[in-house]
Structure 1
Amino acid sequence: MREEMNQQTQTRKIKGGLITMPFIIANEAFEKVASYGLVPNMILYLMNDYKFGIAKGTNIIFLWSAATNFAPILGAFLSDSYLGRFLTIGFGSLFSLLVMFTSLS
Structure 2
Amino acid sequence: MRIRRTFTPEFKLEAASLVLDQGYSILQACRALDVGQTALKRWVDQLQFERTGQSPTMPALTAEQREIQQLKARIHQLEQEKMILKKATALLMSDEFKHMR
Name whichever structure is richer in helix by fraction.
1
* Greater gyration radius: 2
Q: Give your verdict on TM over 0.5.
A: no
What is the TM-score with the length of structure 1 in the denominator? 0.31
